[in-house]
């Protein structure tokens, strides 16, 4: 049989490593939503002395790319310090898996996000994070670097799909250089909302497409 | 290489029947002339006769006249020809078009293309089972309306529209009606003498015929312009060399469908629905139970994602389709499931099973057994599923 995935992706999809939940984890991250089509939960147990990830598990409601990336990420992160694990990139995970179809990039990036969210959660709970930062254009831009442009397999910032970001009293307006009836428009919009809505001082997010 | 896949994606395409292939062969190797050569040499006459015989067979299947059947390259072309041809011929009357929200892409995207050219399109709603509200249709038709295009059976959830009521409303209001019958043709008969529909899209690939051939039924005297320029073939409506082997194959495929076969397909489909509904928790049958094409079952398995499910099934030798966004290159969740009021999660976890004459009871039981295991396995790792 032929599949659009590498042998390694299929192996991790069929036999995902470190699957399940950790009861009372030291850190927990949940990324994505059923509406986006993919969701991943990452659980961590961390050695408080060494800050080494001693146990890591994940749950996934997602496609093959999502499950395989989550699985490989847990293998890569186990035994690493939080700082080391934080630096595991989507690109490294993809390379480790022997590549992923370009169109599936946004499904797999969630797993990396899930790991980072779990680490952030640990750091916040253990007083390792500084004060909440005010949302600026730079903060939004940083978040949007996690929204994939499925046409290119790179994020929407790097591929210059975002033409303008305006922030005004808790409201963010993001202009996207794509017609609203483009085949990827609604998927991109969902992803943007997902990434930006959760900012603590933001109440409203408007994604505007070009006509 | 022997294909051992148990194939349940027959709305996408069917396996060619060997009898169809045998019927086509002479028109590749012996009678390979084009029909337009009928006045030049006898092989041209033979070709022309074969083409017209095929046309008659297809016309008979709709109780139409052969002069009302135009061969096309398939459903997409037929629907484009119907919608663009009629709107172009009637542009002086108006620029309003009505289609349902859950049409297949050949109709939906043709309508959207016309919208960009200044047409006003009403995409009308369907209910939770996928059925159109005929009263709403009647209210939406205006003096400017030139065409209503409502499918017969839905491509994903199999729901059948009440074509009889829809066509009588259109007739009463003096508006032309096109129906895309790609997913019901020969499974649920349409008699054009009884149902006053004006244009019907049909195709061969869903009934074990060759791909790349279809027809548009055009009721006599329907105003329609050709939308493609070239030669004078197909009553000067569809330019291009006649695909005689495929036309012959299409006709043969039509002849081979029997009522008994449709009953068998429906029995297998019902068996699958019955087993899944009773043996797997948290499932929904999408589409109408009662008004449903006999070969279609569409089921949502909550808490699992469709692409993962289809991929696991493929690894075990079963081919099915899903409404999951991850399955489609467009990353869009099924507009049909969303159109019947389902949320994204319901669309992502939906599987479409479409049966044909080659499906068996053994493989139907085997796919249900496989689904039971895979769904349990995927739910086990799903953060949405509360373990019981």
> What does the H/E/C string look like for A82-97?
HHHHHCCCHHHHHHHC
Q: Which residues of B touch A13 (CB under 8 A)?
A: 308, 311
pLDDT per position as a tens digit, B149-167: 999 999 999 999 999 999 9
Kindly tell me if the per-residue pLDDT of B108 is higher than 60. Answer: yes
Same domain assignment for residues A61 and A145: no
Residues in chain A: 211
Same domain assignment for residues B220 and B351: no
| CATH (domain of B281) | 3.90.1150.10
Kindly tell me if the per-residue pLDDT of B133 is higher than 60. Answer: yes
Give Cβ neighbours of residue B166 (< 8 Å, ≥ 6 apart): B132, B134, B137, B148, B150, B177
User: In chain A, helix, strand, coil percent, each to 5?
Assistant: 40, 25, 35
Active-site positions of A read: 36, 107
pLDDT above 70: percentage of residues in chain A: 94
Mean pLDDT over residues A180-192, rounded?
83
The pLDDT assigned to A1 comes to 62
pLDDT above 70: percentage of residues in chain B: 97
Domain contains A191: yes
Pick from A16, A62, A106: CB nearest B305: A62
Q: Do A60 and B382 touch (CB under 8 A)?
A: yes
| pTM given for the model | 0.88
Mean pLDDT over residues B332-358, rounded?
90
Distance CA B331, CA A76 (A): 28
Kindly tell me if the per-residue pLDDT of A119 is higher than 80. Answer: yes
C-beta of residue B138 within 8 angstroms of C-beta of residue B98:
no
Distance CA A191, CA A185 (A): 10
Among B222, B254, B286, the domain boundary falls at B254
C-beta of residue B228 within 8 angstroms of C-beta of residue B240:
yes
Q: Which residues of A touch B304 (CB under 8 A)?
A: 61
Active-site positions of B read: 326
- Assigned token pair, B194: 């009884």
Burial of A75 from C-beta contacts in 10 A (0-12 / 13-18 / 19+): middle
Q: Do B344 and A60 touch (CB under 8 A)?
A: no
Same domain assignment for residues B262 and B232: no
Same domain assignment for residues A107 and A197: no
> Which pLDDT band holds residue B1 (cuts at 50, 70, 90)?
very low
Same domain assignment for residues A20 and A96: yes
Q: β-pairing, A27-33 with A38-46? A: antiparallel
Same domain assignment for residues A116 and A141: no
Q: Do A63 and B343 touch (CB under 8 A)?
A: no
Same domain assignment for residues A187 and A108: no
DSSP string, B179-206: EE-TTTTTTS---TTTS--SEEEEESTT
- Assigned token pair, B119: 């047409």
CB proximity A64 to B under 8 Å: yes
Q: Specify the higher pLDDT residue, A131 or A125.
A: A125
Beta-strand ranges (E) seen in chain B are 6-7, 69-72, 96-100, 120-124, 145-149, 176-180, 199-203, 214-218, 283-285, 296-301, 318-319, 321-322, 350-354
Domain contains B4: no
The pLDDT assigned to A182 comes to 83
Identify the domain containing residue A14 by its residue range: 5-124
> Which pLDDT band holds residue B345 (cuts at 50, 70, 90)?
confident
| Helix or strand holding residue B370 (H, E) | helix B361-380
Same domain assignment for residues B247 and B298: no
Q: Do A63 and B307 touch (CB under 8 A)?
A: yes
The pLDDT assigned to B272 comes to 98
Pick from B312, B314, B329: CB nearest A1: B314
The pLDDT assigned to A104 comes to 75
**Which DSSP state fits B366?**
H
Q: Do A35 and B381 touch (CB under 8 A)?
A: no
Same domain assignment for residues A100 and A158: no
Same domain assignment for residues B81 and B161: yes
Same domain assignment for residues A94 and A148: no
Same domain assignment for residues A169 and A91: no
Among A124, A158, A175, the domain boundary falls at A124
Same domain assignment for residues B222 and B181: yes
Q: Say how many domains are in chain B.
A: 2
Kindly tell me if the per-residue pLDDT of B204 is higher than 60. Answer: yes
- Assigned token pair, B144: 């400017």
Distance CA A131, CA A102 (A): 37
Mean pLDDT over residues A196-207, rounded?
86
Q: Which residues of A touch B348 (CB under 8 A)?
A: 34, 37
Distance CA A85, CA A16 (A): 19
In this predicted structure, which of B14-28, B34-48, B317-331 has the lowest mean pLDDT?
B317-331
C-beta of residue B331 within 8 angstroms of C-beta of residue A103:
yes
Domain contains A130: no
Domain contains B1: no
Same domain assignment for residues B270 and B247: no
| CATH (domain of B149) | 3.40.640.10
CB proximity A77 to B under 8 Å: no
Number of cross-chain residue pairs from A and B with Cβ atoms under 8 Å apart:
83
Distance CA A68, CA A72 (A): 6
| CATH (domain of A173) | 3.30.300.130
Domain contains B9: no
Q: What's the whole-number average pLDDT of chain A?
A: 88
C-beta of residue B268 within 8 angstroms of C-beta of residue B251:
no
Same domain assignment for residues B102 and B239: yes
- Assigned token pair, B182: 């790609």
Same domain assignment for residues A89 and A9: yes
- Assigned token pair, B134: 């005929």
* Long-range contacts from A129-133, C-beta under 8 angstroms, 24+ separation: A132/A200, A132/A201
pLDDT per position as a tens digit, B349-380: 999 999 999 999 999 999 999 999 999 999 99
DSSP string, B311-339: HHHHHTTEE-EE--TTTSTT-PPPHHHHH
CB proximity A181 to B under 8 Å: yes
Mean pLDDT over residues A179-188, rounded?
84
Distance CA A97, CA A77 (A): 14
**Which DSSP state fits B287?**
S
CA A153 vs CA A67, A107, A186: distances in Å: 18, 11, 17
- Assigned token pair, B2: 């022997």
Same domain assignment for residues B292 and B217: no
Q: Do A37 and B326 touch (CB under 8 A)?
A: yes
Q: Say how many domains are in chain A.
A: 2
Q: β-pairing, B199-203 with B176-180? A: parallel
Residue with tokens 């969210």: A117
Same domain assignment for residues B318 and B214: no
CA B332 vs CA A36, A186, A188: distances in Å: 9, 7, 10
Residue B209's nearest CA partner among B357, B60, B5, B2 is: B357
Domain contains A24: yes
Domain contains A199: yes
The pLDDT assigned to B330 comes to 59
Mean pLDDT over residues B329-348, rounded?
83
pLDDT per position as a tens digit, B207-247: 999 999 999 999 999 999 998 899 889 999 999 999 999 99
Kindly tell me if the per-residue pLDDT of B2 is higher than 70. Answer: no
Same domain assignment for residues B238 and B341: no
C-beta of residue A44 within 8 angstroms of C-beta of residue A53:
yes
Same domain assignment for residues B288 and B269: yes
Among A124, A152, A173, the domain boundary falls at A124
Q: Do A35 and B343 touch (CB under 8 A)?
A: yes
Mean pLDDT over residues B320-346, rounded?
81
Identify the domain containing residue B112 by its residue range: 16-254
Q: What's the whole-number average pLDDT of chain B?
A: 94
Beta-strand ranges (E) seen in chain A are 27-33, 38-46, 53-61, 148-149, 154-155, 162-168, 171-179, 204-210
Domain contains B23: yes
Q: β-pairing, A53-61 with A38-46? A: antiparallel
The pLDDT assigned to A35 comes to 66
The pLDDT assigned to A183 comes to 77
Q: Which residues of A touch B312 (CB under 8 A)?
A: 14
Kindly tell me if the per-residue pLDDT of B76 is higher than 90. Answer: yes
Residue B346's nearest CA partner among B384, B295, B373 is: B384
> Which pLDDT band holds residue B270 (cuts at 50, 70, 90)?
very high
**Which DSSP state fits A19?**
B
Same domain assignment for residues B32 and B165: yes
């Amino acid at each position: 049989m032929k599949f659009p995935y590498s042998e390694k992706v299929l192996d991790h999809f069929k036999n995902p490593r470190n699957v399940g939940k950790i009861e009372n984890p030291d850190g927990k991250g949940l990324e994505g939503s059923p509406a986006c089509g993919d969701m991943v939960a990452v659980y961590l147990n961390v050695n408080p002395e060494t800050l080494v990830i001693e146990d890591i598990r994940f749950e996934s409601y997602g496609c093959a790319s999502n499950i395989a990336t989550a699985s490989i990420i847990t293998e890569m992160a186990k035994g690493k310090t939080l700082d080391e694990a934080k630096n595991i990139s989507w690109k490294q995970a993809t390379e480790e898996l022997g590549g992923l179809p370009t169109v599936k990039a946004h499904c797999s990036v969630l797993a990396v996000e899930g790991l980072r969210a779990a680490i952030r959660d640990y750091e916040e709970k253990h007083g390792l994070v500084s004060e909440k930062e005010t949302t600026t254009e730079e903060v939004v831009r940083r978040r949007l670097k996690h929204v994939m442009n499925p046409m290119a397999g790179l994020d929407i910032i790097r591929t210059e799909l975002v033409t303008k970001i305006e922030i005004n009293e808790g409201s963010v307006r993001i202009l996207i250089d794509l017609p609203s009836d483009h085949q990827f428009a609604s998927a991109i919009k969902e992803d943007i909302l997902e990434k930006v809505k959760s900012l603590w001082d933001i109440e409203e997010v408007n994604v505007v497409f070009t006509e | 290489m022997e294909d051992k896949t148990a194939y349940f994606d027959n709305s996408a395409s069917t396996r060619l029947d060997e009898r169809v292939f045998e019927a086509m062969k002479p028109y590749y190797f012996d009678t390979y002339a084009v029909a337009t050569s009928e006045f030049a040499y006898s092989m041209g006459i033979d070709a022309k006769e074969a083409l017209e015989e095929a046309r008659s067979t297809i016309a008979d299947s709709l109780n139409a006249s052969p002069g009302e059947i135009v061969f096309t390259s398939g459903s997409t072309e037929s629907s484009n020809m119907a919608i663009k041809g009629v709107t172009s011929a009637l542009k002086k009357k108006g620029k309003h078009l009505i289609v349902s929200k859950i049409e297949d892409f050949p109709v939906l995207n043709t309508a959207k293309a016309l919208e960009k050219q200044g047409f006003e399109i009403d995409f009308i709603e369907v209910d939770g089972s996928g059925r159109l509200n005929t009263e709403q249709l009647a209210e939406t038709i205006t003096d400017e309306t030139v065409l209503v295009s409502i499918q017969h059976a839905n491509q994903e959830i199999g729901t059948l529209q009440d074509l009889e009521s829809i066509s009588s409303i259109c007739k009463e209001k003096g508006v032309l009606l096109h129906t895309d019958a790609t997913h019901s043709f020969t499974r649920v008969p349409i008699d054009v003498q009884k149902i006053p529909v004006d244009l019907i899209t049909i195709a061969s690939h869903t009934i074990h015929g060759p791909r790349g051939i279809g027809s548009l039924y055009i009721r006599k005297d329907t105003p329609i312009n050709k939308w493609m320029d070239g030669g004078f073939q197909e009553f000067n409506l569809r330019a291009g060399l006649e695909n005689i082997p495929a036309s012959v194959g299409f006709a043969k495929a039509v002849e081979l469908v029997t009522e008994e076969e449709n009953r068998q397909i429906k029995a297998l489909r019902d068996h699958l629905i019955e087993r899944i509904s009773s043996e797997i928790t948290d499932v929904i049958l999408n589409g109408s139970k009662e008004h449903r094409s006999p070969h279609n079952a569409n089921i949502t398995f909550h808490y699992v994602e469709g692409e993962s499910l289809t991929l696991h099934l493929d690894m075990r030798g079963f081919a099915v389709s899903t409404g999951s966004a991850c399955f489609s290159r467009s990353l869009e969740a099924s507009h049909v499931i969303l159109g019947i009021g389902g949320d994204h999660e319901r669309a992502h976890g939906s599987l479409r099973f479409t049966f044909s004459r080659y499906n068996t009871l053994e493989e139907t039981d085997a796919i249900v057994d496989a689904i039971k295991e895979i769904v349990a396995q995927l739910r086990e790792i799903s953060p949405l599923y509360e373990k019981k």
